């Protein structure tokens, strides 16, 4: 506001700021409303999904290794809202997988398979995913392929994804991360296994840890579905896929229930063929056939830390692959 050079510019900035905050409030209202709906309806499941900041191991404080590069550990939180179930923490390290859209979609897929079985007809089940707007992880065509696949595999009859407003994307996962961070600061973490144990040690409201392995990460393509001209999925607030019309993606520009859905054809069924959903289980092979190599310089740094670690931790780091 102080950078504005005229009263007109100041008014324009004030209006834009007010509109931005109203959109953020609408997103949080939707989150609260959907949580209450899930609480009252057993066939509705609402989750918030978010990646925690990288945790490094070993977290040594010895001056000789203070500036050495450490192993990156990742944690994706899948927290169900409106139910009594604990939050799931999907953990892995950089020697297993990266931290992009493949990893986020694979964690959600494993969570679904852990929690649910395919629906017998005519039962219904709805999934709503709340996430931030990060395009490399949450807001992309790979996630839409996952939504379509969950419909095709019979786990849900409707899957929606709703995005928080940038700059106002505080999710329930962030409260869980704050609890983990508080424990991390006072914990000795030599290996990724110590990270898992530290997360599990939360006494008041325990988390569930899902240790992700190479075989858990599936190559969910971002190119199976047709991308309609004119559709920018990074500009919409609300996406929906249904079992009744699996060939179309429904989108809204806001979180308003009064806004009509706009449909986009994402998969065209063959003429004369029996209608089938556009996605099948055979479309997702393993993303990584073997452990990922650690960058050479980082691996050398890790090897210099071995003298300060117990035998079990030394064995773990020696087992890592290097470039």
Give the start-to-end residue ranges of the domains of the chain: 21-293
CB-based contact 207:80 (threshold 8 Å): no
What's the mean pLDDT in 173-193?
96
Q: Exposed, middle or buried by CB within 10 Å (0-12, 13-18, 19+), for 171?
A: buried
Residue 189 — pLDDT band, cuts 50, 70, 90? very high
pLDDT computed for residue 95 by the predictor: 98
Mean pLDDT across the stretch 144-153? Answer: 92
Q: How confident is the model at residue 168 (pLDDT cuts 50, 70, 90)?
A: low
**pLDDT for 276:** 52
Q: CA 240 to CA 232: how far, in whole Å?
A: 14
Mean pLDDT over residues 144-162, rounded? Answer: 94
Which ranges in 201-320 belong to alpha helices (H)? Answer: 296-304, 311-318
With a cut of 60, say whether residue 211 has pLDDT above it.
Answer: yes
CA distances from 147 to 37, 156, 190 (A): 21, 9, 37
Contact at 8 Å (CB) between 74 and 103? yes
Q: Which of 204, 173, 188, 187 minimizes the C-alpha distance to 81?
A: 173
What integer is the mean pLDDT of 261-290? 72
pLDDT category of residue 73 using cuts at 50, 70 and 90: very high
Q: How confident is the model at residue 220 (pLDDT cuts 50, 70, 90)?
A: confident
pLDDT of 61 reads 86
Residue 306 has pLDDT above 80, yes or no: yes
Each residue of 256-295: b (16+ CB within 10 Å) or e? eeeeeeeebebbeeeeeeeeebbbeeebbeebbeebbebe
pLDDT digits (tens, 9 = 90+) for 8-29: 776 666 655 556 556 668 888 9
pTM tops 0.85: yes
**pLDDT class for 167, splitting at 50, 70, 90?**
low
* The predicted structure's pLDDT at residue 16: 58
Range name among 27-36, 205-214, 276-285 with the lowest pLDDT average: 276-285
Residue 4: is its pLDDT beyond 70? no
Which one has a higher pLDDT value, 269 or 238? 238
Cβ atoms 136, 100 nearer than 8 A: yes
Could you tell me the pLDDT band of residue 3, with boundaries at 50, 70 and 90? Answer: low
């Amino acid at each position: 506001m102080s950078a504005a050079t005229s009263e007109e510019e100041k008014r324009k900035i004030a209006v834009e700021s007010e509109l931005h905050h109203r959109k953020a409030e609408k997103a949080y209202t939707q989150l609260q409303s959907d949580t209450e709906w899930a609480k009252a309806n057993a066939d509705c499941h609402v989750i918030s999904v978010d990646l925690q900041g990288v945790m490094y191991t070993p977290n040594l404080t010895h001056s000789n290794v203070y500036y050495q590069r450490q192993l990156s550990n990742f944690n994706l939180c899948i927290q169900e809202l409106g139910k009594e179930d604990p939050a799931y923490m999907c953990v892995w390290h950089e020697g297993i997988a990266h931290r992009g859209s493949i990893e986020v979609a694979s964690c959600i897929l494993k969570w679904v398979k852990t929690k649910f079985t395919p629906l017998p007809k005519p039962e219904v089940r709805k999934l709503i995913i709340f996430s931030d707007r990060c395009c490399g992880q949450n807001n992309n065509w790979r996630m839409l392929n996952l939504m379509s696949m969950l419909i095709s595999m019979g786990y849900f009859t409707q899957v929606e994804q709703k995005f928080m407003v940038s700059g106002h994307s505080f999710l329930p996962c962030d409260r869980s991360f704050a609890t983990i961070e508080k424990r991390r600061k006072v914990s000795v973490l030599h290996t990724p296994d110590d990270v898992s144990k530290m997360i599990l040690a939360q006494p008041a409201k325990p988390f569930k840890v899902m240790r992700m392995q190479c075989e858990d990460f599936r190559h969910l393509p971002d190119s199976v579905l047709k991308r309609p001209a004119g559709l920018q999925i990074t500009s919409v607030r609300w996406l929906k896929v249904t079992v009744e019309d699996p060939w179309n993606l429904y989108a809204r520009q806001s979180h308003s229930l009064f806004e009509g859905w706009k449909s986009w054809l994402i998969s065209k069924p063959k003429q004369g063929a029996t209608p089938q959903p556009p996605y099948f289980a055979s479309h997702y092979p393993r993303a990584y056939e073997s452990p990922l190599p650690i960058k050479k310089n980082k691996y050398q740094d890790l090897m210099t830390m071995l003298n300060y670690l117990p035998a079990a931790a030394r064995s773990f780091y020696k087992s890592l692959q290097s470039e």
